[in-house]
Amino acid sequence: MIPHPRGPYPKERRYPRFKLQFPVSLSLASQEAVRELKAITRNVSIGGLLRSTSDYIPPHTQLSFTMEVRRSGSSRPLRLVGEGDVVRVEPLGPGLGFAVAIECKHPIAEIEDHLPAAS
């Protein structure tokens, strides 16, 4: 594993990441209730997503998500549903919230047709 300049994260990732912004809704269990959070992704890959939120979500939290992917040529978004684990949380600064990295339990193969070609 190659150390990341901002932490002990691998430099090379399993899947390429794309700077795409899609609406995403997260559901996680919180003290005997289901907690729903909405946000916009910061980047997306077949294996995970990074999103910003004002709410702190602890690392290793298991959650489910629904992401709306806008397709060119269609007026209706594609809804993708998955499950994942929070693998990293980084503060964005005072009053700016947190960047939350989510690793998917299963690759989101359906999104592949909606990502730009890797250069």
Q: Which pLDDT tens digit goes with each residue over 68-91?
A: 887 667 678 788 889 999 999 999
- The answer to whether position 5 is within a domain reads no
d(CA 23, CA 88): 20
In a domain, 89, yes or no: yes
Provide the residue count of the chain.
Answer: 119
Flag whether 31 is in a domain: yes
Kind plus residue range of the DSSP H or E element containing 69: strand 62-69
Number of folded domains in the chain? Answer: 1
Angle value at C-alpha 51, between 105 and 76, nearest 5 degrees? 85
Task: Look at residue 43 and tell me if it is in a domain.
Answer: yes
The pTM of the full predicted model, rounded to 2 decimals, is 0.76
Q: Tens digit of pLDDT for each residue in 3-51?
A: 444 455 555 567 778 888 888 999 987 777 888 988 888 888 888 999 9
Indicate which CATH number applies to the domain containing 43.
Answer: 2.40.10.220
Provide the domain limits for residue 101. Answer: 23-109
